[in-house]
Amino acid sequence: MLNRYPLWKYVMLIVVIVIGLLYALPNLFGE
């Protein structure tokens, strides 16, 4: 089971990372 990762897990991971960056970048550059 460890070898098989469904596509939706990758999509969800990418979405979470993108949202995290969108929230983090304004704070980093806003200072």
Of 30 and 19, the structure prediction assigns the larger pLDDT to: 19
pLDDT at site 6: 85
Report how far residue 16's alpha carbon sits from residue 27's, in angstroms, rounded to the nearest whole number.
17
Domain chopping of the chain, boundaries: 1-31
Q: What is the mean pLDDT of residues 3-11?
A: 84
pLDDT of residue 17: 97
Q: What does the mean pLDDT of the chain come to?
A: 85
28 has pLDDT over 80: no
Report angle CA 13, 18, 12 to the nearest 5 degrees: 20
**Which two three-digit tokens encode residue 20?**
């995290």
pLDDT (tens digit, 9 = 90+) per residue, 15-27? 999 999 999 888 8
Residue 25's pLDDT is: 84
